[in-house]
Structure 1
Amino acid sequence: MREFKPSHPYAGQKLPFPPPPFRSTRLHIQRSNVCSRAYFVVVMVFFHVYILNVIALLLYVHYNNGPEDLIPSEGASSSAINDGGSPLPRSAPSSTDLYLDDYSQSFSLPRIEGIRVGHVQRISLASDKTLVMKTLSLKPLIFEIPGFLSEEECRVVVQLAQLKGLMETQTPALVQGNDESNLPLLSLSTEEVFGLLDLNQDGLLQKQEIVSHSRSRDGTWLSADSLRQILINLETRPTGTITLDDFKRIYAESQSTAQRTGKLTNQYKQRNKNTWLHQGPGSHHVVIGLTRLPSSLVELSEPLQVIRYEHGDYSDAHYDSSPTNPEASCAHTRLASNASTVSEVSCRYVTVQFYLSSVDEGGETTFPVADNRTYDEDVSDGIDLTDTQQTCHRGNLLVKPTVGTALLWYNHLSDGKGWMGEMDEYSLRGDCPVKRGLKWVASSWINVDPDHLQQARYQRLVAQRHQVKSGLEDYYQPLSHNNLHQDL
């Protein structure tokens, strides 16, 4: 057989350098794959852990920052108002969000523009109803809205007031030159005063009920000193309530003290009958839509006051609110104040008044100095314009009561930064004597503290108490004993 000879040039010769050692390419590839897969697994594990941490953090922030820390958006409704179509706030807040708005970062109070006297704006507070709002005055800013309530709605409010019961608020005239002979402001029995203070008619007085009347008082039936003494006694009681028997003793002491010091004397006079009606959650939606103010400010304001004027009844010209005073606190935010102040005053940013009946003759609402060039309570002849019994016809603006019509006016100016400023001295108003017929009116006041930080603290305090109360009610599930005729 022929011997095989390799054809390579170096075949059979000694190589100048040794050949490289044999390495398995397959083994190298396997090691590379193992490292790549391990690295990929580690990276994916860290990535998923990171994503889970981010999600957990977002959930923590979301559930710890509840509705009370959210700033409500102004104008969340699709309803339009005015020629420019400015949006209105939502018309009916839910009961769960009622007290949970926080204004600690949003200090702005929407204010309707008057434009000029006689200017007409069209407003839509319901999908099937468009109203006309007319500017009556610029000093103070007053608007008239005819047909705001239907006649049926007016009758319902009147019936509720009659079922609740009305109390006399007659103030005796002062005896000229003899202030010491003045009688007490009202001739009410202790039981009647207790009934007026006991808003929920549970037979006990709570602090909130006393505070509610202190911010709605107008000097007609309970003095500031009496209210303060009642509050002091209430705060010293472990139960936080006062029974009728305890109230009789406290009230008698406060009245005797006031009579000895002569502090019941008051120049303001009126004669009528009135009562207060609590409004349930969500019942303020028409006022919220009309004023464009945040729902919590409206919902946390005073109960609705219903007044009946009979023949000869009247009220002298007065201010619904009080001048801003650093030494006095707003009655409605006193619960959130740590500092003790000398006195409490009413802080009513807006008044909304509803005419529940028409009057045959007399009974006009008078704004004696509306749109005066300069403010002056007295005319050059020395006539007192606050005395509506004598000078009601001299007022600059008289509004005749017409059933269903609403009046809205601002008792305070703006501070230039979007919050409530000084009291508008032109907002003096009264009620002319009724000459023929009956006059029924209802007044709704929106309370705002000039100190926006104090107002924010009050909002948070009420929100916290509401949450605690809701939790207790859910736990115990108590039966409802509300008197329906007291609530709207």
Structure 2
Amino acid sequence: MEEEEEEEPAPARAAPLRCSRMQLQRSSVCSRAYFVVVMVFFHVYIVNVIGLLLYVHYNNGPAGSEGDAPLPAPDPGASPRPAEDSAQSLPRIEGIRVGHVQQVSLGPDRALAMRTLSLKPLLFEIPGFLSEEECRVVVQLAQLKGLMESRTTAESSQLSLSTEEVFSLLDLDQDGLLQTSELLSHSRSRDGTWLNPDNLRQILSGLEACPTGVLTLQDFRRVYDQSQRLGKLRSRFQQRNTHTWLHQGPGSHRVLQALRNRLTSLTRLPAALVELSEPLQVIRYESGDFSDAHHDSGSSHSQSGCAHSGNTSALRQVTCRYLTMLFYLSSVEEGGDTTFPVADNRTYEEQALIQDGADLTDTQQTCGRSNLRVRPAAGAALLWYNHLSDGRGWMGELDEYSLRGDCPVTRGVKWAAHSWVNVDPDHQQQARYQRRVAQGHGSRSGMEEHRQPLSHSDPHRDPHQDL
């Protein structure tokens, strides 16, 4: 009996051991399956994050952080790319906030700090953009070619015409109604002193706002009187300096080509836009030389076209400059600051340019009252956008905050250069222009014709926009 009692517990102890082994096996299988599922989801997450970063990198325009690789510089000897290569979008550098510094890479071993100076207009400063040797070469090339005088003074006399007389002169068919075609007929002539381009722009805006599409004498009186008051701000534009133009295309000095390639890499604009834009303008300011505040680009209008793209059907042609890049080729002992009178103003109104009887566009008198002034430093560069985006990635309306001028040089000499990128607000017109140039690229003379600077004597454009 004792033996039977001793044998009974043995099977009872064996059963738990089998059960325990089975439980351990199930737990191990579940753990491995869970681990595999977690790792699969983790890898999918990592792949998605990498894909998102790549998308942002290639679609957000220029580099905004250290380590971004620059775009390859365009081959100076290559033919202009056809219009199809130019995407229907214009990259813009993000300003983030005033004072923000971002690193830009302009070559394998060349990274520079770019600082945001204002958001209205979108304006950046890049110290060390040019080397001392490059500054010297550009100045010497300008001296070798020879500089011409840029002197524009205010009109000394005005015709005494009443509003009624102006209306009658513009009303070509004498029906008592002023139509767009009648008003724009005057834009083909620059010999009038009572209706300048600024007056014309104001009146055209008033006509477009009129529901009937025409102006009666009463309507015209209201619009014209306002345009006369506002037009005086820029009709008194003055400047004094000397300048010349240097081509940067094939056959030009390697320094000039390098500057153009550097601009293309910085802005990430299609190379064709940059290559077909105006030549480099080099300016010399001696003691007392200056430039009143102005807009580098003209305001787009339904009845106007861009001078560079050759839209001959437009009744009025204006200069279309998407952005400006200003190179400081020398420092200045005293004076010569670049001024932005209304930078980062809360609002923009032309009436506000007159403060306490002083005109903020008059750099000889009011440079000290400007919202933003930049001291010239040899080798530094400024970049700003003259136009807003149209919301679809192309060039939109003129950014009126881009008003800028040059304070008088009081001691020393100031050397500077402008590089503009010409873009037509109508991307289809811009594409047609690029196709025409590409088709005629076989002849060198044809290319030189397209790369001529916009002349001061062009009767369809404001005389002070080639500054």
Aligned to 1:385: 360
Q: Which of 254, 270, 289 is the aligned partner of 2:265?
A: 289
In structure 2, relative to structure 1, the CA distance for the partners of 1:92 and 1:379 (3 Å cut) is same
Shift of 1:383: 2.1
- Name the CA distance, whole Å, in 1 between partners of 2:57 and 2:71: 4
> 2:92 matched to 1:117?
no
| 1:5-43 Cα shifts (integer Å, max 9, x gaps) | xxxxxxxxxxxxxxxxxxxxxxxxxxxxxxxxxxxxxxx
- Name the CA distance, whole Å, in 2 between partners of 1:413 and 1:302: 20
Shift of 1:172: 2.7
Shift of 1:346: 0.4
Any stretches of 5+ residues in structure 2 without a counterpart? 1-55, 161-183, 198-233, 251-256, 448-467
- Name the CA distance, whole Å, in 1 between partners of 2:241 and 2:287: 10
Aligned to 2:284: 308
Shift of 1:180: 5.2
- The correspondence of residues 95-244 of structure 1 with structure 2, limited to 5 A, is 95-96=77-78, 98-103=79-84, 106-175=87-156, 178-179=157-158
Q: Is the 8 A contact 2:69 2:105 kept in 1?
A: no
| 1:353-402 Cα shifts (integer Å, max 9, x gaps) | 00000001100000000000111342542321000000011000000000
Q: Is the 8 A contact 1:75 1:87 kept in 2?
A: no
| 1:215-252 Cα shifts (integer Å, max 9, x gaps) | xxxxxxxxx99x979xxxxxxxxxxxxxxxxxxxxxxx
In structure 2, relative to structure 1, the CA distance for the partners of 1:469 and 1:173 (3 Å cut) is closer
TM-score by length of 1: 0.61
- The correspondence of residues 336-415 of structure 1 with structure 2, limited to 5 A, is 337=311, 339-376=312-349, 377-378=352-353, 380-415=355-390
Shift of 1:81: 3.2
In structure 2, relative to structure 1, the CA distance for the partners of 1:85 and 1:101 (3 Å cut) is farther
- Name the CA distance, whole Å, in 2 between partners of 1:174 and 1:471: 38
Aligned to 2:397: 422
| 1:262-302 Cα shifts (integer Å, max 9, x gaps) | 97994211000111111123542111011111111000000
Shift of 1:92: 2.8
Q: Is the 8 A contact 2:114 2:124 kept in 1?
A: yes
**What SS class does the counterpart of residue 357 from structure 2 fall into?**
coil
In structure 2, relative to structure 1, the CA distance for the partners of 1:261 and 1:426 (3 Å cut) is closer
Q: Is the 8 A contact 1:315 1:430 kept in 2?
A: yes
- The correspondence of residues 254-293 of structure 1 with structure 2, limited to 5 A, is 258=191, 266-281=235-250, 282-283=257-258, 284-293=260-269
Aligned to 1:469: 443
- Name the CA distance, whole Å, in 1 between partners of 2:357 and 2:326: 30
Q: Is the 8 A contact 1:366 1:431 kept in 2?
A: yes
Amino acid aligned to 1:164: K
Shift of 1:430: 0.2
**What SS class does the counterpart of residue 317 from structure 2 fall into?**
strand
Shift of 1:101: 3.4
Shift of 1:442: 0.1
In structure 2, relative to structure 1, the CA distance for the partners of 1:396 and 1:93 (3 Å cut) is same
- Name the CA distance, whole Å, in 1 between partners of 2:288 and 2:348: 29
Q: Is the 8 A contact 2:98 2:116 kept in 1?
A: yes
> 2:440 matched to 1:440?
no
- The correspondence of residues 25-44 of structure 1 with structure 2, limited to 5 A, is none
- Name the CA distance, whole Å, in 2 between partners of 1:363 and 1:105: 38
Q: Is the 8 A contact 1:93 1:295 kept in 2?
A: no
Shift of 1:471: 13
Amino acid aligned to 2:274: V
Amino acid aligned to 1:396: N
Shift of 1:104: 7.5
Q: Is the 8 A contact 1:368 1:394 kept in 2?
A: yes
Q: How many residues align?
A: 321
Shift of 1:179: 2.2
| 1:126-161 Cα shifts (integer Å, max 9, x gaps) | 112211100000000000000100111111111111
In structure 2, relative to structure 1, the CA distance for the partners of 1:452 and 1:436 (3 Å cut) is same
**What SS class does the counterpart of residue 170 from structure 1 fall into?**
strand
Aligned to 1:61: none
Aligned to 2:45: none
Q: Is the 8 A contact 1:365 1:398 kept in 2?
A: yes
Aligned to 1:205: none
Cα RMSD, aligned residues only: 3.1
- Name the CA distance, whole Å, in 2 between partners of 1:262 and 1:374: 27
Q: Is the 8 A contact 2:151 2:241 kept in 1?
A: yes
Aligned to 1:92: 74
Percent sequence identity over matched residues? Answer: 60
- Name the CA distance, whole Å, in 1 between partners of 2:151 and 2:296: 18
Amino acid aligned to 1:319: H
Aligned to 1:323: 299
Q: Is the 8 A contact 2:321 2:420 kept in 1?
A: yes
Q: Is the 8 A contact 1:180 1:262 kept in 2?
A: no
In structure 2, relative to structure 1, the CA distance for the partners of 1:260 and 1:407 (3 Å cut) is closer
- Name the CA distance, whole Å, in 1 between partners of 2:75 and 2:99: 33
- The correspondence of residues 17-96 of structure 1 with structure 2, limited to 5 A, is 81-83=63-65, 85-93=67-75, 95-96=77-78
Q: Which of 420, 435, 442 is the aligned partner of 1:460?
A: 435
Q: Is the 8 A contact 1:91 1:125 kept in 2?
A: no
Q: Is the 8 A contact 2:149 2:242 kept in 1?
A: yes
**What SS class does the counterpart of residue 332 from structure 1 fall into?**
coil
**What SS class does the counterpart of residue 430 from structure 2 fall into?**
helix
Any stretches of 5+ residues in structure 1 without a counterpart? 1-73, 182-223, 230-256, 474-488
- Name the CA distance, whole Å, in 1 between partners of 2:127 and 2:440: 39
Shift of 1:447: 0.3
Would you tell me which structure has more helix in proportion to its own residues? 2
- Name the CA distance, whole Å, in 2 between partners of 1:288 and 1:279: 13
Shift of 1:259: 7.5
Amino acid aligned to 2:263: V
